[in-house]
Amino acid sequence: MPQNVLALVAFITTVILFYIEARVKINDLNRQDYKEDIFYRSMSWGTAYLPQDLRDMLDRDEKVLWAGKPRKAPLVLKSFISTVIVLPFIIIPFFIFQITGPALLNPIVIIFFLFWYGIISIFAIMPIYNFLMWKNIWYMLTNKRVIVRTGLIGIDYDILELENIQQINVNVGLIDKIYNTGTIVLQSIGVKPIILWAVEEPYKIQKVIRRAVEEVKN
């Protein structure tokens, strides 16, 4: 039985890697003809396409420099990979029960496995959670601050004033390379970092944010 589990995991991993390789080749061809600047494309949106709650947060003298959403595919696929990784930890206990039988029907053991599956389930449902949450995620850069809007049932806001931004980092993983996206991390002293996931053309957006920060500080 364990051999079958390992074979299943290997098969799923092979399919994912094959898909990734195919996407890389397709994106390499598409990027050769890619001429559109995402910054100016986002600027053309204005504020009309922003959710009403974000527009209501703007001050009278506040201007939107850039606004956008994460790209859905890499946002979901990143969490899907974590689900594949924990898949053996979900399946193997079932085989342990089949092998040992009633020997494991002990209250302490049962409580342990309930706790075990409670932790594992967090990773298992992350792709679904990110898929459903995507519609509520918005990023907005103004001439004063950065606002990240998230939430599934309720709406949460992470806000960081431009003058407090100390460092702007870009992290690009394997999935990001396929979709030409990246994670932008805005760091400040004394507060938690602001994270923008699955941002298209992340290095261009990093430059836009850096220019806005420099203008505020100068």
Taking the domains of the chain in order of start, what are their residue ranges?
A: 1-35+71-135, 40-69+137-218
Residue 32 is predicted with a pLDDT of 41
Structure confidence at residue 16 as a pLDDT band (50, 70, 90): low
Structure confidence at residue 78 as a pLDDT band (50, 70, 90): confident
Separation between Cα atoms, residue 60 and residue 172, nearest integer Å: 36
Q: For residue 200, what are the β-bridge partners?
A: 181
pLDDT tens sequence across 129-167: 778 888 899 999 999 999 999 988 889 999 999 999 999
Architecture in CATH for domain 40-69+137-218 = Roll (2.30)
Structure confidence at residue 185 as a pLDDT band (50, 70, 90): very high
Q: What are phi and psi of 22, to 5 degrees?
A: -65, -40
Global pTM? 0.68
Helix H or strand E encompassing 28: helix 2-32
Residue 28 is predicted with a pLDDT of 47
Concatenated DSSP letters of 174-192? HHHHHHTEEEEEEE-TTSP
Residue 1 is predicted with a pLDDT of 46
Separation between Cα atoms, residue 49 and residue 135, nearest integer Å: 13
Residue 43 is predicted with a pLDDT of 43
**Spatial CA neighbour of 71 closest among 146, 167, 159, 139:** 139
pLDDT tens sequence across 21-69: 555 444 544 444 333 344 434 443 456 678 889 989 998 889 999 999 9
Q: Which two tokens stand for residue 33?
A: 């003809």
- Give me the chain's average pLDDT, please: 76
Residue 65 CA to its chain's centroid (Å): 22
Q: Which two tokens stand for residue 171?
A: 């992290």
Ranked by mean pLDDT, the top range of 79-93, 99-113, 160-174 is 160-174
3-state secondary structure of 171: strand
